[in-house]
Homo-oligomer: A and B are copies of this chain.
Amino acid sequence: MTIKGSSENRPARIRLGMVGGGKDAFIGAVHRIAARLDDQFELVAGALSSTTEKAQESGRLLGLADDRIYTSFRDMAIRENRIKGGIEAVAIVTPNHMHYQAAREFLKRGIHVICDKPLTSTLPDAKKLAALAEQSGALFVLTHNYTGYPMIRQARDMVRRGELGEIRVVQAEYAQDWLAEPLERSGLKQAEWRTDPERSGAGGCVGDIGTHAFNLASFVTGLQLESLSADLHTFVEGRALDDNVHVMMRFAGGAKGMLWSSQVATGNENALTLRVYGSKGGIEWAQEEPNKLWFTPLGEPKRLITRAGAGAGEAAARMSRVPAGHPEGYLEGFANIYAEAARAIIAKRNGETIPNDVIFPTVQDGVAGVAFVDACVRSSKRNAAWVTP
């Protein structure tokens, strides 16, 4: 068995820069592990913090050369674009409100962008960014990391192959409990910016995690959202943004859906789940047990399809590193986004067409995500009226 993630047939590593992700940042460290897992990226430059001292300390801790530690992402974009061996791609892992400006600097210099979600903190920014990305020759990869799970690829593939028949009902949930108390007032940085409209945008929970659930449902089903009715709630007193979200959805073609997203649901750690029911079968998946996909063909017993096990097809196999029963998790799923990005970047580097089976969330998925958040906020302000995203 040749396992993915080994470096076999490896081309030169992709030179990667990072914006954000200094000391104490959570998602920056995740991106670095994800980039490293399959040995296809090498982190060589960073604008890791907007404060000079922290940027430098963080850069050194990561072993960056001094002259490739920047305190401004703009400076980094300009110089890296000029020097020989400058970065080929940049990971943007700042709070949401900075994504747009940072991405712009790199895109316009032809440097590929791997950007954390949500795409931007406002819909106009998202659309402008999409336009930029499409004019640019550079790739834009959005790390809706949950689309990297092998069983999500399997699910998507099953939908496409018609194994569920015509989709009728979509149930998407993303429940957490870590904001059940006002942690943002206890100095926890993760909580602070996520509950601050200046940095997160108009959506709190809906933007932070609701958008993941929406993206996952879209990714798997391929359905287009036509309209939604959303009720956003804030349960923790004094919180400026929503911490619980109820959404009803209507998709083109007649499918209907519900989405629940919460950060005050005590007993839920990271309970992203997706259930899709069609005229010929149903599937159920939960992020906390990502190696399992439950599939019930109409009128038959429920089946457990496992990553790399019997019943899992090529779409899952491509995203899998170790045999069935050896659980892969969050980091491997995240790394799969990087692995797909690497295949695309290397094709570009070699002047080749990007292979057809390379799949990653794009800037257009990002626009759809921000539009979803925007629509939820608009709908909720109008007493959950149906709105078009």
Contact = CB atoms under 8 A, between A and B. Distances in A.
Interface of A: 1-3, 5-10, 23-24, 26, 28-30, 32-33, 36-39, 58, 61-63, 168-169, 171, 176-178, 180-181, 190, 229, 231, 233, 235, 244, 246, 248, 250, 254, 256-258, 260, 262, 264-271, 275, 277-284, 287-291, 294-306, 309-311, 321-332, 383-384, 386
Nearest to A171: B260
Given A169-B262, A287-B327, 6 more contacts: A2-B24, A8-B62, A37-B331, A248-B384, A262-B277, A289-B327
28 contacts: A1-B24, A1-B26, A2-B23, A2-B24, A2-B29, A7-B62, A7-B63, A8-B23, A10-B63, A33-B37, A36-B37, A169-B265, A171-B260, A178-B323, A181-B298, A231-B250, A231-B256, A233-B256, A248-B248, A248-B384, A258-B260, A264-B277, A287-B327, A300-B311, A302-B303, A303-B304, A322-B330, A322-B331
Given A246-B258, A322-B30, A330-B326, A383 B386 contact: yes
Given A62-B10, A384-B229, A302 B299 contact: no
Given A10-B63, A61-B9, A266 B281 contact: yes
A235 B168 contact: yes
A294 B310 contact: no
A283 B311 CA distance: 18
A328 B326 contact: no
Contacts of A248: 229, 231, 246, 248, 384
A310 B301 contact: yes
Given A244-B169, A258-B246, A328-B329, A282 B268 contact: yes
Given A29-B2, A61-B8, A328-B329, A323 B268 contact: no
Nearest 9 CB-CB pairs, A to B? A270-B325, A269-B325, A267-B296, A327-B329, A6-B29, A301-B311, A266-B282, A267-B282, A329-B329
Contact of A256 (B180, B229, B246, B302): B246
A194 to B, nearest CB: 13
A268 B323 CA distance: 12
Contacts of A258: 246, 258, 260
A94 B116 CA distance: 40
Given A24-B1, A61-B9, A266-B277, A309 B298 contact: no
Contact of A266 (B26, B229, B257, B296): B296
Contacts of A23: 2, 8
A347 B306 CA distance: 41
Nearest to A230: B248
Contacts of A1: 24, 26, 190
A233 B302 CA distance: 25
A307 B190 CA distance: 19
A20 B321 CA distance: 19
B310 A299 contact: yes
A7 B78 CA distance: 26
A277 B180 CA distance: 10
B331 A328 contact: yes
B306 A304 contact: no
Contacts of A26: 1, 3, 323
